[in-house]
Chains A and B, each alone.
Chain A
Amino acid sequence: MLTVVGVSKRFGGITALQEVSLEVRAGEIYGLIGPNGAGKTTLFNCMTGLYGVSSGEILLAGERVHNQKPHRIVQRGFARTFQNIRLFANMSALDNVRVGRHVRTRAGVLGAVLRDRRTRAEEADNRRRAQALLDFVGLGNKARTLAGHLAYGEQRRLEIARALATEPRLLALDEPVAGMNPAERQQMRELFLRLRSQGLTLLLIEHDVKLVMGLCDRVAVLDYGRKIAEGSPSEVRQNPAVIAAYLGGDAA
């Protein structure tokens, strides 16, 4: 589904990513873990077009997506959420999701002004799908609430609904359970499993090792911008390099 080949990213003299390669297979939940500052979010931003790559390439289902505009990548079926929630705070929950439908709808200025039959049908369909997505993530009764007024956990779920509205094949989640309590984490876990059962591939950045280990099919570990391990959760857990990265020094 997603192939990253030898991607490096330099900011001036700082190398944030060095020759990172990994492969996310269709239908799996792939975890990306690593200590703070390991380059996980940088890799995410490279994948989703917010950053260009310094070298290497990223392929989504065989098509080149590195150094492309973010909206092109979304169009190809790769959506994401943000670590520090980035909702449109002063829009209603429903409108947030409707914005996510932008890339799958077509109405332009003429359609907006004339409101012809096609535009009306598209808007109605858009509204219906957005509401269905809110129901799916459990925010069905909050459609009219402003995104900024939702509780923290609800905002996280709204971000997922908004990303789902773009009809992705691959959904990348940047620390989706950060700051959540155990009950909310459990809810999110169930949500991820439901998404996978619908055929979606998930890419997960997460600090919560327990969640990652219990949920992911395969895991890659980043440290100082390099991939130091990849494999099933149990393999990775026993990898000496990973233990050293997490516990520091020569603990291995």
Chain B
Amino acid sequence: MLDLLRRPRTRSQARAALILLAVLLALLPFLTEAALGRSWVRVLDFALLYVILALGLNIVVGYAGLLDLGYVAFYALGAYLYAWLASPHFGLHLPFWAVLPLGAALAGVFGVLLGAPTLRLRGDYLAIVTLGFGEIIRIFMNNLNAPVNITNGPQGINLIDPVHVAGLSFGKTQQVLGLTLSSAHFYYYLFLAFTLATIFIAYRLQDSRIGRAWVAIREDEVAAAAMGIDTRNVKLLAFAMGALFGGLAGGLFAAFQGFISPESFNLWESILILCMIVLGGMGHIPGVILGALLLTVLPEALRYLGDWQRLVLGEVLVEPTDLRMLLFGAALVLMMIYRPEGLIPSRQRKREFHAEDGVLEQEQASLYDTRT
């Protein structure tokens, strides 16, 4: 079906594929619940959340080529802002439609704050500084419980308000139009709406004056500056736009979980999101979406390895959690060897990795010729 979407032969075929996809997305939580149980609907929710995160980071890393290893900090900021403004912690209970934009905006501002001192840095150096930034935010959240209790420290903030729409709380299971919808179902549709909006914005940005400026900076920063691009502002804009989606996802996460703590925002999360982009195909929206879906769904699926071992071998020889990391690592290594451009790369990216293959082979061949 993906194939049909990518290469629609006629207009009506494309429309048919689109309708099919819409119906599938609408029914997905019910199908999933029927086939795999309710816990998998939650997995779906997380998958959508990670699609938003990955598309946000993709603006910074994929478009503008700025390696950001502290992306989770923006996720944390969005989540904490939501928790502060909609939980008993400060006694504030603002509605989600007011808090989510605030969280996104706060994250965007921090994106600029992080971006400003790192403008002169490139590649590895930028990665180290952003990594530090991510850790600073997490450690702040961990320690800002004294003298004034702002974040409640490592215990985190509990009882965060769920999203309310038209008197309907997304926090508990309810009957709507004769259907029994669990909290996970409600959030699925909410996240789906935000995910689709994110995809739309990502596409629009990509094919715009700003998007071209980002790619130009990635390709050659000096040439971009000499062609009249204000590299400072355009880079800061990339940081801010990426952070915005991080903050948005953070708010959604806080509302969905009802509980957040600094534990949820460690370095591993940043790396995971980056892996999604790299795995799927950096800078290419369908690839990034696929990467995000795979890396949220596969680790969950691997949990079944424990049950399977108990069933077949009578005992759990290898802890599934250990195995998950092992397989995850192996998959990444294999990717880097056989498909460094990602699973569904943009044509452009593919060329960046393979354009010189022919030449390289010849050069290597002649190199070995002279050696023997």
Q: Which residues of A contact B (CB under 8 A)?
A: 48-50, 69-71, 74-75, 79-80, 82, 86-91, 95, 98-103, 105, 107-109, 111-113, 115, 119, 122-123, 126, 146, 148, 162-163, 165-166
Which of B210, B216, B226 has a CB less than 8 Å from the CB of A91? B216
Stretch of B9-17, B48-56, B172-180, B347-355 on the interface side? B347-355
What are 13 A-B pairs with beta-carbon distances under 8 A?
A48-B226, A50-B222, A69-B225, A74-B226, A86-B220, A88-B220, A90-B352, A91-B219, A107-B210, A109-B237, A112-B204, A112-B209, A126-B209
Kindly state the separation between the CA atoms of A49 and B237 in the bound complex, as whole angstroms: 22
Residue of B201, B226, B231, B232 most packed against chain A (CB within 10 A) = B226
Which residue of chain A lies nearest to B229 when distances are taken between CB atoms in the complex? A102
| Cβ contact within 8 Å between A99 and B231 | no
Known contacts A99-B229, A103-B228; is-contact A109 B212 (Cβ 8 Å): no
A-chain residues with CB within 8 Å of residue B200 when the two chains form the complex: 113
Q: A88-B219, A90-B219, A146-B351 are in contact. Are A71 and B229 (CB under 8 A)?
A: yes
Nearest-CB distance from A235 to chain B (Å)?
32
| Dominant secondary structure of chain B at its interface with chain A | helix
Within B206-237, the residues touching A (CB, 8 Å) are: 208-213, 215-216, 219-220, 222-232, 237
Residue B302 interfacial (CB < 8 Å)? no
| B102 at the binding interface (Cβ < 8 Å) | no
- Whether A111 contacts B208 by the Cβ 8 Å rule is yes
Among residues of B, the one whose C-beta sits closest to the C-beta of A89 is: B219
Could you tell me how many residues of chain B have their Cβ less than 8 Å away from some Cβ of chain A? 31
Report if B139 contacts A (CB, 8 A). no
What is the minimal beta-carbon distance from B193 to any residue of chain A, in angstroms?
Answer: 16
Q: Select from chain A the residue with minimum beta-carbon distance to B346.
A: A90
The answer to whether residues A69 and B209 also contact, given A91-B215, A112-B204, A113-B204 and a CB cut-off of 8 A, is no
Interface flag for B278 (CB, 8 Å) = no
Contact between chains at A99 and B225 (CB < 8 Å): no
Q: Which of A87, A112, A123 meets B223, CB within 8 Å?
A: A87
Whether, in the assembled complex, B332 has its beta carbon less than 8 Å from a beta carbon of chain A, the answer is: no
Residues of B within 8 A of A79 (CB): 226-228
Contact with A along B237-260 (1 / 0, CB 8 A): 100010000000000000000000
Contact B241 A102 (CB under 8 A): no
Q: Please give, as numbers and ranges, the residues of chain A lying within 8 Å of B351 by CB-CB distance.
A: 90, 146, 148
Among residues of B, the one whose C-beta sits closest to the C-beta of A168 is B228
Residue from B201, B209, B222, B226 in contact with A113 in the complex, judged by beta carbons closer than 8 Å? B201
Min distance, Cβ A77 to any Cβ of chain B, angstroms: 10
Q: Are A166 and B227 in contact (CB under 8 A)?
A: yes
Which residues from B are CB-within-8-Å of A91? Answer: 212, 215-216, 219, 348
**Chain B residues whose C-beta falls within 8 Å of the C-beta of A108 in the assembled complex:** 210
**Cβ 8 A contact of B209, one of A49, A102, A148, A163:** A102
Cβ contacts under 8 Å, A100 to chain B: 227-228
A165 to B211 CA separation, bound complex (whole angstroms): 18
Q: Report the minimal beta-carbon distance from B224 to chain A, rounded to whole angstroms.
A: 7
Rounded to whole angstroms, the CA-CA distance of A102 and B237 in the bound complex is: 15
Additional 14 contacts, C-beta under 8 A, given A86-B220, A101-B209, A162-B227: A48-B226, A50-B222, A69-B230, A74-B227, A75-B228, A82-B226, A87-B220, A90-B219, A102-B216, A102-B227, A108-B210, A112-B204, A112-B211, A146-B351
Chain B neighbourhood of A126, CB < 8 A: 209
Top 4 A-B pairs, shortest CB-CB distance? A103-B228, A112-B208, A74-B228, A86-B223
